[in-house]
């Protein structure tokens, strides 16, 4: 590992926090009625940090486990030796008895079939032959057993020594990881691999005698072979990683080599037939390798290609919520070749710079007519299914004169906060940019620059990007494990979403769970998507609470009552948070759901919406979606189908210090194998599964309660989830997917 360097010098930034204007997207509409606030439920989610902490605790137990393994292996071999000696003695006695019996039987047969004159001579000859054979067998079988005993004793000693060496190197490996001496990893891994190979060769010398070993030792042999194959691929990867740090190889070479090693390992493992006892382990290893292969394929595609890759980064502000995480006010085009960034282009005008260059005259989605009936580049992330939004972003970018991009990556401002939390603040002559005030500082600088030069309000982003690239490099060099953990957490929460033009790479990204798409759910499903339409940057002070009550009926449907409450905690008159929040909500529920009643839908007045000019033409995707919209005559809630789900669209408008609430009552048909379940008979099984999917960029408080109709009780409950005779309840912040599955069996 390279020697520790001094703390990195601060990267100068020209950031002068001043009060500035807020978002240009502001409306002055009628206020909504107030509601009583509710208490905040307690968090009930297990975080990634807790999972990593559990892993660290298990890692500390590795030396003791290895020591136990040595003693266990020694005991196993000793038992095997004793068993083999007992078998050899038994074989000797059985052979002596059978030889005598065979000799007697042979003499009788010869007397019957051979002439009497020849009988005495032949009998004497056969008897002598059998006697000699018996004596040789009686002498050699114990001798063979003795030689086998010595061979097994030698094998036991050799294996014990190898296990001791592995335990010692395992401790060294653990110390290297704890002290971040990564340069020592290749040597320790190579030493462990060498001892594993010696153990396997020692065991191979037993030849067919391995078949006589107890099943547990045969399983150990298969595990030994599995470990050797795995470590044979991991060791060169670790060595090449150090070569990269020392500058002996390039990043693309390492990425491509990792991908090839993983593919080779997967091929070798598939060719080796493991015992039934290891089926679960080999399946787990195969799943891990498949995920690692997908990861290496994606990284190789994005950064390891010798051809230039054009990556379009979309920066989203969660304080002005949109479907995929926030308003897309800025973007950057990265050109990457061979693991190196060749260029970064970030227009000072942000996404608005594209507006004047976009020749397409398209009509925007109908809710956006409140601010602009023309479909602009900055509004292209309208669909919560990120692959749909990303494809539209790429098309509009190319139509504006930009190049064809290989990938679109959406990044919320939370990513910048987390990176600075690892790295520390960026210090400049006019102030610091730290994690706690990252978004506030950027908004203030952008507002100031908009006043000074309306054509270049995003100059700070142009200056900040190179600095953030250095932050990533610094974290990668000094805190690689923390950076990896943070990145995985951001991907899981959809703060980073990825779309690749290549279909195979996109399939790999989907398997990794990083596409930001709405998931297919075979059972119950819920996603509440909020889009700020002319409500300023106020979503950070609007607290959203979602409460769902569901009752499973004997008729084969789920009757649900969904309440969405938005509490505006901003200060009236504040230049930052004192604006009305106008939100268009889309509630995604299972297909064929039926709306019964809705309250609280408060759309802006019709005169507030702009009429598209005659020069504008409908966007094909938007026209196809909106042509199928049905409006509920009682509540005005819009209903349509999208991504295999039914969608309810409604408006909630809330002023500072006030509360707005909407209620939806609807029915969801239970399904099994894509077929609607008929009314339940007594004793019938009720399959139920629930997937609750959060929106990128927001963390609402959520409560869900599921119960059974009285006629279905009492019941027996199986499967995961905190079920009781009354049902199941979840309460806490909704910041990641919540999946509940259970089978309810009526008595």
pLDDT of 581-610, one tens digit each? 999 999 999 999 999 999 999 999 999 999
Residue 389 has pLDDT above 90, yes or no: yes
Q: Which residue has the higher pLDDT, 511 or 260?
A: 511
Residue 404 has pLDDT above 90, yes or no: yes
Q: Which residue has the higher pLDDT, 165 or 714?
A: 165
The pLDDT value given to residue 282: 64
CA–CA separation, 675 and 266 (whole Å): 38
Residue with tokens 């070479």: 253
The pLDDT value given to residue 116: 47
Highest mean pLDDT out of 120-129, 167-176, 201-210, 648-657 = 648-657
Q: Rounded to the nearest 5 degrees, what angle is found at the Cα of 259, between the Cα atoms of 253 and 264?
A: 120
Handedness of CA 551, 41, 46, 291 (dihedral sign): positive
The pLDDT value given to residue 720: 47
CA–CA separation, 363 and 369 (whole Å): 9
Handedness of CA 422, 424, 425, 429 (dihedral sign): negative
Between strands 701-708 and 407-412, the pairing is unpaired
Mean per-residue pLDDT, 174-188: 75
pTM for this entry: 0.73
The pLDDT value given to residue 30: 44
- State what percent of residues in the chain have pLDDT above 90: 33
The pLDDT value given to residue 130: 55
Q: What DSSP element (H or E) covers 426?
A: strand 426-428
Residue 252 has pLDDT above 60, yes or no: yes
The band of 248, judged by pLDDT with boundaries at 50, 70 and 90, is confident
CA–CA separation, 539 and 209 (whole Å): 71
| Cβ-based burial of 441 (10 A; exposed 0-12, middle 13-18, buried ≥19) | buried
Residue 310 has pLDDT above 70, yes or no: yes
Mean per-residue pLDDT, 168-192: 76
Residue 747 has pLDDT above 50, yes or no: no
The pLDDT value given to residue 469: 87
Residue 171 has pLDDT above 50, yes or no: yes
Coil, strand or helix at 564: strand
Highest mean pLDDT out of 27-36, 116-125, 183-192, 417-426 = 417-426
Residue 73 has pLDDT above 80, yes or no: no
Residue with tokens 């989605």: 365
Residue 689 β-bridge partners: 741
CA–CA separation, 452 and 469 (whole Å): 27
Token pair listed for 361: 């005259």
The distance from CA 548 to its chain's CA centroid, rounded to whole angstroms, is 27
* 601 backbone dihedrals φ, ψ, rounded to 5°: -70, 115
Residue 20 has pLDDT above 60, yes or no: no
The pLDDT value given to residue 195: 78
The pLDDT value given to residue 686: 65
The pLDDT value given to residue 119: 44
Token pair listed for 708: 């059974």
Sequence-separated (6 or more) residues with CB below 8 Å from residue 122:
110, 114
Q: Which of 568, 526, 582, 558 is nearest to 737 (CA)?
A: 526
Residue 41 has pLDDT above 70, yes or no: no
| Cβ-based burial of 200 (10 A; exposed 0-12, middle 13-18, buried ≥19) | middle
Token pair listed for 102: 């065979």
Token pair listed for 477: 């060099």
> Worst-scoring range by mean pLDDT, 58-67, 259-268, 583-592, 664-673?
58-67
Residue 518 has pLDDT above 70, yes or no: yes
> Worst-scoring range by mean pLDDT, 126-130, 344-348, 655-659, 687-691?
126-130
Mean per-residue pLDDT, 238-251: 72
Can you give the three-state secondary structure of 53-91, one letter per residue? HHHHHHHHCHHHHHHHHHHHHHHHHHHHHHHHHHHHHHH
Q: Tell me how long the chain is.
A: 747
Residue 705 β-bridge partners: 549, 729
The pLDDT value given to residue 156: 66
> What is the per-residue pLDDT across 78-104, written as a single tens digit (0 to 9) for each?
555 455 445 545 554 555 565 556 556
Residue 733 β-bridge partners: 701
DSSP characters for 427-485? EETTEEE-STTHHHHHHHHHHHHHHH-TT-TTHHHHHHHHHHHHHHHHHHHH-HHHHHH
Q: Which of 322, 262, 293 is nearest to 509 (CA)?
A: 293
The band of 740, judged by pLDDT with boundaries at 50, 70 and 90, is confident
The pLDDT value given to residue 251: 67
The pLDDT value given to residue 708: 78
Residue 703 β-bridge partners: 547, 731
Strands (E), 326-402: 327-337, 340-345, 362-363
Each domain of the chain, given as residue ranges in start order, spans: 524-746
CA–CA separation, 705 and 740 (whole Å): 12
Is-contact 450 440, C-beta < 8 A? no
Q: How far is residue 83 from each of residues 74, 78, 89, 152, 158, measured CA to CA in Å?
A: 14, 9, 10, 11, 20
The pLDDT value given to residue 231: 77
Coil, strand or helix at 32: coil
Is-contact 496 417, C-beta < 8 A? no
The mean predicted confidence, pLDDT, of the chain is 77
The band of 675, judged by pLDDT with boundaries at 50, 70 and 90, is low
CB neighbours (10 Å) of residue 720? 10
State the chain's maximal CA–CA distance in angstroms.
Answer: 133
Mean per-residue pLDDT, 107-130: 50
Coil, strand or helix at 643: coil
């Amino acid at each position: 590992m390279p020697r520790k360097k001094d703390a990195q010098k601060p990267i100068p930034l020209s950031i002068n926090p001043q009060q500035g204007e807020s978002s240009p997207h502001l409306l002055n509409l009628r206020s909504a009625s107030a509601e009583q606030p509710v208490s905040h439920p307690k968090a009930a989610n297990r975080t990634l940090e807790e999972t990593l902490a559990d892993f660290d605790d298990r890692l500390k137990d590795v030396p003791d486990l290895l020591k136990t393994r040595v003693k266990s292996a020694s005991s196993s071999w000793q038992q095997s030796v004793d068993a083999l000696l007992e078998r050899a003695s038994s074989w000797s006695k059985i052979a002596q008895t059978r030889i005598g019996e065979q000799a007697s039987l042979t003499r009788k047969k010869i007397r019957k079939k051979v002439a009497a004159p020849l009988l005495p001579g032949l009998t004497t000859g056969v008897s002598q032959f059998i006697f000699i054979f018996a004596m040789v067998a009686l002498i050699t079988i114990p001798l063979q057993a003795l030689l086998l005993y010595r061979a097994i004793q030698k094998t036991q000693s050799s294996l014990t020594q190898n296990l001791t060496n592995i335990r010692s190197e395992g401790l060294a490996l653990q110390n290297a990881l704890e002290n971040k001496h990564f340069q020592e990893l290749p040597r320790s891994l190579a030493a462990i691999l060498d001892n594993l190979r010696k153990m396997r060769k020692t065991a191979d010398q037993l030849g067919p005698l391995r078949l006589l070993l107890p099943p547990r030792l045969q399983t150990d042999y298969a595990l030994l072979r599995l470990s050797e194959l795995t470590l044979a691929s991991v060791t060169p990867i670790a060595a090449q990683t150090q070569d990269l740090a020392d500058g002996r190889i390039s990043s693309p070479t390492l990425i491509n080599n990792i991908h090839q090693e993983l593919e080779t390992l997967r091929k070798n493992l598939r060719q080796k037939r493991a015992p039934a006892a290891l089926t679960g382990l080999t399946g787990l290893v195969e799943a891990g390798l498949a995920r690692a292969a997908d990861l290496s394929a994606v990284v190789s595609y994005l950064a390891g290609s010798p051809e230039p890759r054009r990556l379009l980064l979309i920066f989203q502000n969660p304080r002005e919520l949109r479907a995929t995480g926030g308003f897309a006010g800025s973007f950057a085009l990265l050109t990457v070749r061979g693991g190196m960034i060749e260029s970064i282009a970030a227009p000072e005008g942000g996404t608005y710079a594209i507006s004047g260059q976009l020749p397409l005259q398209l009509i925007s989605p109908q809710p956006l007519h409140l601010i602009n009936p023309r479909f602009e580049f900055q509004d292209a992330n309208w669909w919560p299914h990120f692959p749909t939004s990303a494809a539209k972003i790429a098309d509009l970018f190319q139509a504006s004169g930009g190049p064809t991009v290989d990938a679109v990556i959406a990044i919320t401002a939370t990513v910048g906060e987390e990176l600075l939390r690892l790295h520390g603040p960026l210090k400049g002559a006019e102030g610091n940019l730290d994690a706690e005030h990252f978004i506030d500082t950027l908004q203030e600088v952008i507002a100031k620059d908009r006043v000074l030069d309306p054509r270049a309000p995003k100059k700070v982003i142009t200056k900040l990007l190179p600095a953030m690239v250095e932050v990533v490099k610094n974290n990668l060099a000094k805190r690689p494990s923390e950076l990896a953990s943070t990145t995985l957490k951001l991907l899981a929460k959809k703060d980073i979403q990825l779309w690749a033009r290549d279909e195979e790479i996109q399939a790999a990204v989907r398997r990794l769970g990083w596409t930001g798409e709405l998931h297919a759910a075979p059972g119950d499903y819920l996603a509440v998507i909020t889009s700020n339409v002319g409500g300023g940057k106020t979503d950070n002070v609007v607290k959203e609470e979602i409460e769902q009550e569901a009752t499973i009926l004997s008729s084969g449907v789920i009757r649900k009552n969904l309440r969405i409450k938005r509490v505006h905690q901003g200060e009236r008159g504040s230049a930052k948070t004192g604006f009305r929040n106008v939100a268009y909500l889309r509630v995604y529920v299972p297909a064929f759901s039926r709306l019964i009643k809705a309250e609280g839908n408060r759309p802006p007045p019709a005169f507030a919406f702009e009429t598209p000019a005659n020069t504008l033409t409908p966007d094909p995707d938007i026209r196809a979606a909106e042509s199928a919209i049905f409006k509920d005559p009682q509540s005005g809630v819009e209903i349509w189908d999208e991504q295999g789900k039914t969608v309810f669209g409604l408006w909630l408008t809330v002023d500072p210090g006030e509360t707005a609430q909407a209620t939806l009552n609807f029915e969801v048909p239970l399904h099994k194998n894509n077929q609607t379940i008929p009314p339940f008979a007594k004793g019938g099984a009720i399959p139920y599964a629930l997937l609750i999917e959060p929106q990128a960029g927001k963390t609402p408080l959520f409560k869900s309660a599921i119960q059974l109709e009285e006629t279905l009780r009492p019941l027996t409950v199986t499967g995961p989830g905190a079920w009781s005779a009354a049902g199941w309840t979840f309460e806490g912040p909704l910041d990641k997917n919540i999946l509940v599955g259970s089978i309810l069996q009526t008595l």
